[in-house]
Structure 1
């Protein structure tokens, strides 16, 4: 059975709309603001929301998100507390939880998935869980409406990409840089062909992430994939309480034309 996250994003694509997924750090500014932030982003037309879990050793995160994670950790935010908060929040767009594997292991994989069933989380990203070890989670996800979102890097071989996309759910997180998250102005010339290669092998929506921070980036990537994930810019604007600027930015990228 197709997971809800996949259905929602495919519907966006069918309507020729760019798929826009903002990333936020849960607990940056206090967990009591999480529901308000989700509601704000939902009202501004996003397709789904990626919710980051603060972690002491975030190997995939750049400086902006690292600082947000530290602020949340200093406020004693944890995966358990985030899940309890999410159980009290209703969202009309799918939520995608991004966490490293250690906090999940500490809770217990089965207990973790069971707790998520009582939330509107429809996707799960674990950047330090290799594709070869996904079987640690997949048995518990079979009866849950939660997609395990795969990441594909620029250095992935054609054979590895083929293996990953064949079992993909939700969307494919196509990492557009070799390194950590963070705003940037340009991308390697190989990114376009790389995204086209992934998209040619799957019907699952392909989203470009890492470094996406300007309207021109969205315009560039919407020629070769289905949408974008935007993290550092969103996190920074929320931290600086520049909601009006963020709303204007989200409006601009929603208006980007999708390649026919």
Structure 2
């Protein structure tokens, strides 16, 4: 995973990482294939959870819909095992789901399903050791979050322990569509790049091609979630979503 993204970034390509809630529709893995075809460099897959504290209303709605359909960690991983996607897949989840199975078992199951990376969004770096070890043993990249308020000392520790890429939160708050990209995004990306050779991707609030391009000026790419999930919730087909992703891909260059 790290090698894949680093190679693309080294060639001057800005990384585009769409987010899809697992189990959101019966044909949800078709959206993964659409993302790949439209130019995604990796795809984040959210495991639906009943108390998603970092997710805004759109992703919460998507999670609720997936849970109402009966989606579980097991069913989502089974779906992934049945499809071949040619870009790295990253599972984004909450600590409760990881600890319920146990980090070693959880990470092994992800790897068996073809997942390349793991992001536990509510797990602070002070408590990451057990998951870090389990991810390494399973061959998973461990994606860690950094925020505008992260201290320099803590930022260095996060950068040391992460692999794959670093996820830079553009604003303090939950995920969600926004009218503009926060000015703090560029400053944070610059700080992170000063202490790490990993790609730095900006997320939270990237809602349009122009915003994706603006956010990626100081970073190595972007993560796009709520804007895409709103389209799916409103009925967009995989083909229609691919058009949106291709527009962002074009804007990023």
Q: TM-score, normalised by structure 2?
A: 0.94
Q: How does 1:129-148 map to 2 (within 5 A)?
A: 129-148=123-142
Q: 1:25: which partner in 2?
A: 21
Q: 2:242: which partner in 1?
A: 247
Q: 2:190: which partner in 1?
A: 196
Q: 1:256: which partner in 2?
A: 251
Counterpart contact for 2:215–2:222, Cα < 8 Å: yes
Q: How does 1:169-188 map to 2 (within 5 A)?
A: 169-188=163-182
Q: Give distance in 1, aligned partners of 2:161 and 2:214.
A: 27
How has the CA–CA distance of structure 1 residues 257 and 45 changed in structure 2, closer, same or farther, with 3 Å as cutoff?
closer
Counterpart contact for 1:176–1:211, Cα < 8 Å: yes
Following superposition, the deviation at residue 36 of structure 1 comes to: 1.4
Q: Give distance in 2, aligned partners of 1:62 and 1:37.
A: 21
Root-mean-square deviation (CA, aligned residues, Å) is: 1.5
Kindly report structure 1 stretches of 4+ aligned residues shifted beyond 6 Å: none
1:24-83 per-position Cα deviation (integer Å, ceiling 9, x unaligned): 0111113xx132121111111100010001111100101111001001111121112212
How has the CA–CA distance of structure 1 residues 40 and 187 changed in structure 2, closer, same or farther, with 3 Å as cutoff?
closer
Q: 1:215: which partner in 2?
A: 209
Q: 2:145: which partner in 1?
A: 151
Q: TM-score, normalised by structure 1?
A: 0.92
Q: How does 1:1-260 map to 2 (within 5 A)?
A: 5-30=1-26, 33-239=27-233, 240-256=235-251
Q: Give distance in 2, aligned partners of 1:133 and 1:257.
A: 35
How has the CA–CA distance of structure 1 residues 166 and 110 changed in structure 2, closer, same or farther, with 3 Å as cutoff?
closer
Q: Give distance in 2, aligned partners of 1:105 and 1:214.
A: 35
Q: What count of residue pairs does the alignment treat as equivalent?
A: 252
Structure 1 unaligned residues grouped into runs of 5+: none
Counterpart contact for 2:181–2:215, Cα < 8 Å: no
Q: Give distance in 2, aligned partners of 1:81 and 1:257.
A: 34
Counterpart contact for 1:21–1:46, Cα < 8 Å: yes
Q: Give distance in 2, aligned partners of 1:112 and 1:45.
A: 29
Counterpart contact for 2:104–2:135, Cα < 8 Å: no
How has the CA–CA distance of structure 1 residues 71 and 11 changed in structure 2, closer, same or farther, with 3 Å as cutoff?
same
1:80-126 per-position Cα deviation (integer Å, ceiling 9, x unaligned): 22122222222110000011111222222222122122122111011
Following superposition, the deviation at residue 214 of structure 1 comes to: 1.1
Following superposition, the deviation at residue 247 of structure 1 comes to: 2.6
